[in-house]
């Protein structure tokens, strides 16, 4: 049964059921346990083991996709258990921080069954491959590394066998490896050791289009010398052996720091189209070289459908989309809303969001560039929304800035928050406590506290321990 049929049934639980404490112990017992033999097998080959009896490929799989040995049903069971534990921890924190009353080992709101990913293997639409010393000792090996610098045991392994890796990404990575091995330039493994060739990022869409972004440390090369190597790169991927990759876009970025934005050093289009496009729930989205876009398209559709169902009470109202990225959530929900206002730090993402709205003929979306903690406190007091005002937020793992939390909590017209977190046990937990805890005059948290009403895990990352948690807070 499709999600759009399942969620309405789950969300139409009798009102009295929502008031009954949900015992974590009961929910935990309801999850099907693996057989004792299977437990022993998993314990023997746990991703937490030292890996002494495992091949390098198995060790890499245990690092990147730690749940790969479990069936998908077992993965979902494990993730459901983990989310319940995290939510129980949150509930206990709130019981200490506020006037909420809760017995230990009990949740006061329902947690719906985890929404599975429609696609489980090869789902990633973005992969970044490192360059480091391989098994054969060649420092121009492209893949994923295991080990540590401190342990002096780093080795780079090809990721072809990883269950979440599309074959097209592996192909581009292998071709890039062949190219840099034939290049006279050294790889840049440690900045202070010199070298030039760095990582490569591969982005694809459901239509099969492919974008590659090569990162390069210029060191002391002149512009003319760099131009020669850029031309060689284009030649390889457009007329040489790399044509097998069928690249639609080839970008090049000269970077002297680990994380370099487009503003720090512009992405240079060496060949092809400047963007690729993806379709989500019937809407078309433009993806730039550094745009944020959910790595699992099919699961992203499931996530946005979940958010839409959870915001039924806010339909025909205003949606405040904090950390909106390229506008995917707001645009996807826009037909159900009177207005959408999105805020995003990355200027290129805002340009993409505005373009995406125009591309889809959406006229009720407004996108603002800047830090949410700067824009939001100034924006919210000026908002006079018609209908319900709901805020949806999908921040990075660092969570929301304190000033954003302060603005959201202290504005009385915001009655519902939908918080999406890929790591709710991290900084998001701090956000939950600040939004739902007692009034704190010293920290200027003077607005009425929110209360958790419903949680829905969504599996965005099969074979890994991670999933998205959608938490509805109301007051």
Q: Are residues 260 and 310 both part of a single domain?
A: no
Catalytic residue among 188, 324, 422, 467: 422
Please tell me whether residues 301 and 273 are part of one structural domain.
no
Distance (Å, whole) CA 172 – CA 255: 21
Mean pLDDT of all residues in the chain? 86
The per-residue pLDDT for range 406-447, each reduced to its tens digit, is 888 888 888 899 999 999 998 899 999 889 888 777 777 888
Do 258 and 392 belong together in one domain?
no
For residue 329, give the CATH number of its domain.
3.40.50.150
Q: Are residues 349 and 214 in the same domain?
A: no
Q: Which residue has the higher pLDDT, 439 or 135?
A: 135
Domain count, the chain: 2
Q: Is the pLDDT of residue 80 over 80?
A: yes
Measure the N-to-C terminal CA separation of the chain; round to a whole number of Å: 33
Of 278, 313, 341, the last residue of a domain is 278
Phi-psi region of 404 (alpha: psi -120 to 50; beta: other; left: phi over 0): alpha
Q: Are residues 396 and 320 in the same domain?
A: yes
What are the tokens at 231? 């031309």
16-20, 373-377, 395-399, 421-425: which has the minimum mean pLDDT? 16-20
State which residues form the domain around 311: 296-474
Q: Is the pLDDT of residue 217 over 90?
A: yes
Q: What Cα–Cα distance (Å) separates residue 355 from each residue in 68, 213, 441?
A: 38, 22, 42
Reference 435, options 100, 103, 109, 102; nearest CA is: 100
Q: Quick one: pLDDT band at residue 97, thresholds 50, 70, 90?
A: low
Q: Is 206 among the domain residues?
A: yes
Bridging pattern class, strands 339-344 and 318-322: parallel
- Work out the angle at residue 332's Cα, subtended by the Cα atoms of residues 342 and 392, and round it to the nearest 5 degrees: 45
pLDDT over 60 at 17, yes or no: no
- pLDDT value at residue 52: 66
Look at residue 258 and tell me whether its pLDDT is greater than 50. yes
Whether residue 329 is found in the same domain as residue 413: yes
**Residues, the chain, total?**
475
| 8, pLDDT greater than 80 | no
Say what the pLDDT of residue 104 is: 59
pLDDT-based confidence at 142, cuts 50/70/90?
Answer: very high
- Is there a domain that residue 220 lies in? yes
CATH number for position 252: 2.40.50.1070
Judge whether 344 is annotated as a binding position: yes
Residue 406 forms part of a structural domain: yes
- Sheet with 339-344, side-by-side order of all strands: 365-369, 339-344, 318-322, 389-393, 414-421, 468-474, 451-458
37 band by pLDDT with thresholds 50, 70 and 90: very low
Residues 264 and 331 placed together within one structural domain of the fold: no
- Whether 252 has a pLDDT exceeding 50, the answer reads yes
Question: 273 with 408, same domain?
Answer: no
Residue 101, domain member (yes or no) = no
Q: What is the pLDDT of residue 398?
A: 84
Report the 10 Å Cβ neighbour count for 274: 12
**392: in domain:** yes
Q: In 3-state terms, what secondary structure has residue 84?
A: helix
pLDDT surpassing 80 at residue 298: yes
pLDDT value of position 260: 75
Work out the number of other CB atoms within 10 angstroms of the CB of residue 151.
7
pLDDT in tens, 144-203: 999 988 888 899 999 999 999 999 999 999 999 999 999 999 999 988 889 999 999 999
Residue 296, marked binder: no
pLDDT of residue 19: 29
Q: Annotated catalytic, 324?
A: no
With H, G, I as helix, E, B as strand and everything else as coil, classify residue 266.
Answer: coil
Count the Cβ atoms, other than its own, within 10 Å of residue 78.
16
Q: Is 101 left (phi over 0), alpha (psi -120 to 50) or beta?
A: beta
Q: Is the model's pLDDT at 42 over the cut of 90?
A: no
- In this structure, the answer to whether residues 269 and 399 fall within a common structural domain is no
* Residue 70 within a domain: no
Q: Which two tokens stand for residue 449?
A: 């506290």
Least confident of 23-32, 109-118, 168-177, 251-260: 23-32
- Kindly state whether residue 341 falls inside one of the protein's structural domains: yes
Q: Which residue has the higher pLDDT, 412 or 471?
A: 471
Same domain, 141 and 218: yes
Q: What pLDDT sits at residue 417?
A: 95
Contact 319, 337 (CB under 8 A): yes
- Domain-located, residue 42: no
- 274 and 300: one domain? no
Q: How far apart are CA 131 and CA 282, in angstroms?
A: 38
Establish whether 279 is an annotated binding residue: no
382 and 449 fall within a common domain: yes
């Amino acid at each position: 049964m499709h999600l759009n049929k399942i969620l309405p049934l789950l969300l139409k639980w009798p009102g009295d059921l929502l008031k009954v404490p949900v015992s974590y112990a009961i929910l935990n017992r309801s999850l099907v346990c693996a057989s004792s033999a299977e437990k022993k097998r998993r314990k023997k080959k746990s991703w937490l083991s030292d890996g002494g009896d495992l091949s390098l490929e198995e060790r890499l799989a245990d690092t990147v996709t730690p749940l790969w040995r479990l069936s998908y049903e077992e993965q979902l069971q494990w993730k459901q258990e983990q989310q319940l534990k995290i939510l129980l921890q949150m509930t206990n924190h709130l019981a200490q921080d506020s006037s909420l009353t809760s017995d230990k080992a009990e949740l006061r709101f329902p947690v719906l069954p985890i929404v599975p990913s429609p696609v489980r293997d090869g789902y990633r639409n973005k992969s970044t491959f490192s360059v480091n010393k391989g098994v054969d000792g060649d420092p121009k090996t492209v893949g994923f590394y295991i080990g540590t610098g401190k342990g002096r045991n780093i080795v780079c392994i090809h990721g072809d066998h990883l269950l979440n890796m599309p074959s097209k990404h592996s192909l581009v990575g292998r071709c890039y490896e062949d190219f840099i091995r034939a290049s006279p330039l050294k790889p840049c493994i440690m900045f202070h050791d010199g070298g030039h060739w760095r990582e490569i990022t591969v982005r694809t869409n459901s239509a099969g289009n492919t974008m590659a972004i090569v990162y390069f440390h210029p060191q002391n090369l002149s512009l003319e010398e760099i131009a020669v190597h850029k031309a060689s790169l284009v030649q390889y991927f457009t007329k040489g052996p790399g044509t097998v990759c069928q690249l639609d876009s080839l970008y090049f970025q000269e970077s002297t720091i680990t994380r370099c934005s487009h503003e720090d050093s512009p992405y240079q289009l060496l060949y092809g189209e400047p963007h690729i496009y993806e379709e989500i729930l019937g809407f078309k989205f433009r993806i730039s070289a550094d745009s944020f876009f959910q790595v699992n398209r099919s699961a992203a559709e499931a996530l946005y459908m979940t958010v839409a169902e959870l915001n039924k009470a806010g339909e025909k109202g205003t949606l405040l989309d904090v950390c909106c990225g390229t506008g995917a959530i707001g645009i996807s929900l826009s037909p159900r809303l009177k207005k959408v206002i999105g805020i995003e730090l990355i200027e290129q993402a805002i340009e993409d969001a505005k373009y995406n709205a125009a591309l889809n003929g959406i006229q009720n979306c407004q996108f603002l560039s800047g830090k949410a903690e700067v824009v939001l406190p100034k924006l919210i007091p000026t908002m006079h929304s018609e209908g319900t005002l709901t805020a949806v937020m999908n921040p990075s793992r660092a969570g929301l800035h304190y000033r954003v939390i302060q603005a959201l909590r202290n504005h009385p017209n915001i009655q519902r928050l939908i918080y999406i977190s890929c790591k709710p046990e991290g900084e998001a937990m701090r956000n939950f406590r600040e939004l739902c805890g007692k009034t704190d005059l010293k920290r200027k948290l003077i607005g009425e506290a929110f209360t958790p009403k419903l949680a829905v895990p969504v599996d965005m990352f099969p074979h890994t321990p991670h999933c998205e948690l959608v938490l509805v807070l109301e007051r």
